[in-house]
Structure 1
């Protein structure tokens, strides 16, 4: 049982790291001399690197909010798991933790879908590693949430 709990905890920490990196990293879309993330648009000109804030469009602000919410809910889920690990009665399930983790999964999925649909259609631009990390974090956090639903506390 201890090994299962340790595995679930490690998986949860990996998901949290993936979400933090995908939210903060500057490579949601890359192409040529340009990189774009949720916060800045950067270009290289004459050997220099110039960044300006991301646009004020509603869709990018929605993606920013959803990614921040996914990080927060994943973190709150981790705190709830540790709390329930010590306070939950024997045989109880980690429903509260599961709900927070599944919500984190839904938020990251919605943010990535909005970014996919609304990002500019430029044939020279490709999705970067931060975008891919967000999509990797989605199924992992969903699986983690489902594991928390099945998981029971034993002595």
Structure 2
């Protein structure tokens, strides 16, 4: 049982770390001379332009920003609640609250990655200053980490739903 508990804790911490990296790192859309995420566009790793209201599609990026942040916060809250429930729940009870919060985190990261997937072309191609730069790019590792974090938080949420507190 102790090995299972250690695995679940490590799995949850890994999910949170993936969410932090995917939210913060500047590699959602990358090319040879640029990197772009939901916060800024950088050329040659030195010249960074913050995405602001003048950026067409800013409200879409704000939705991605908000859902990624919310997903990270919910994942951390789920971990804290898991630790509290670990010592508070009676034997044989399930970690339902932890599961619900972790599945909400999963939903948020899925929404963020799906919005970015759907609107990425509109975001980068509708802004003339970045069009020539970002037209020849590919999804970066932070974007892929967001989808991996979706899978991890989903599996974690299901594990908490199935898991019963035992001796």
Tell me which interval the TM-score lies in, with the shorter structure as reference length: over 0.9
| Aligned twin of 2:142 | 130
Which runs of no fewer than 5 residues in structure 2 stay unpaired?
126-133
**In 1, Cα distance between equivalents of 2:77 and 2:69:** 12
Is 1:42 the counterpart of 2:54 in the alignment? no
Residues 44-99 of structure 1: CA deviation (Å, up to 9, x unaligned): 2xxx7211112431110000000000000000000000000000111110000000
Let me know the Cα RMSD of the aligned residues: 1.2
| Aligned twin of 2:114 | 113
TM-score if structure 2 supplies the norm length?
0.87
Residues 16-56 of structure 1: CA deviation (Å, up to 9, x unaligned): 00000000001000012111011111112xxx721111243
Worse-superposed segment, 49-58 or 143-152:
49-58
Worse-superposed segment, 26-35 or 78-87:
26-35
| Aligned twin of 1:6 | 6
Which runs of no fewer than 5 residues in structure 1 stay unpaired?
none
Q: Of 52, 55, 59, which aligns to 2:49?
A: 52
Following TM superposition, the consecutive aligned residue runs of length 4 or more in structure 1 with deviations greater than 2 angstroms are: 120-123
| Aligned twin of 2:93 | 92
Size of the aligned set, in residue pairs, is 152
